[in-house]
Amino acid sequence: MQYIYENTNNPLDFFQRYPYKIKVVDLQLDMKTQMEYFGLLSEIFQGTNAEALANIHRRKTFDPSVSLEYRKRMLAWLSMSEEVDVLRKLEQYEKSCPEEEKGFVSMCVYQCRTNIEAALLGERHAMVASGMGGEGNKIRYFAALITVSGQAWSATEQHLLREELMLACKEQGAVVEQLEFSGKYAKILLLTPITLSPVVVIRNAKNASNELGVFISQQEVITNISRLSDEELDKLLKGESPESCGAWQQRAPGS
């Protein structure tokens, strides 16, 4: 089984070089957990501790007396299996494992299930992970738009943005999962194709809305790390970076 690990901001370039079937991880897990998991996989495939992992009894993987660090390496190693009995053991452990391991084990279960599906179908796939997950070949993003006035959105403004956002999504093959208004913020959950920047959809909707009266600020916040509260958005606008936001984008005119 070939394993290629890349942390990239240019997924389109990756898929041009490795034209596999795209599978977006639909788990909504924090990026720290996901990066830890893929980092361990990378080490295993490069041979780091591979022999020791292969020789240890599998039951040790679920033994609480084994150190958490080594247990995670074992779980990551098992997650690359294409055996159904391994998947069932991982699923069983997922139900009973300590809470601090839950996200990591969920990644292992997801990977193992994906491997089995790919083997049965005779496919090669590229797995894409983000903090908010996704569906099919689409990645989920959180976006926030802001009124120019700093006041709450009027009913007319809400209607215009909703209509233009739906139209922009239809044109680009994206999906609006949720749109809610909270004070000066319009909060959007958006699914966009992996090869499409969410900025395209957001900008198209915003610009079309502003043609009918400039009421949406040029500032916008877009992230695939986590949903943000009003308080966290306030911090971003003040130039602060809340921990839960992680890698976020805040765009202004001409950026």
Per-residue pLDDT of the chain (255 residues; tens, 9 = 90+): 444 445 555 555 655 665 556 667 777 787 788 888 888 888 777 755 555 555 555 656 777 777 888 888 889 888 888 889 989 999 999 998 888 899 999 999 988 988 888 888 877 766 777 778 888 778 899 999 999 999 999 999 999 999 999 999 999 999 999 999 999 999 999 999 888 889 999 999 999 999 988 999 999 999 888 889 999 999 888 876 555 444 444 443 333
How far is the C-alpha of 23 from the C-alpha of 94, rounded, in Å?
22
Helix, strand or coil, per DSSP, at residue 186: strand
Its sign, for the CA torsion 239, 244, 247, 253, is negative
How far is the C-alpha of 66 from the C-alpha of 8, rounded, in Å?
34
pTM: 0.69
Domain ranges of the chain: 11-128, 137-251
Residue 139, sorted as left (phi over 0), alpha (psi -120 to 50) or beta, turns out to be beta
User: Class for domain 137-251, per CATH?
Assistant: alpha beta
Least Cα distance to 165 among 128, 118, 198, 122 occurs for 198
CA triplet 145, 149, 152: central angle to 5 degrees?
A: 65
DSSP-derived secondary structure letter, 66: S
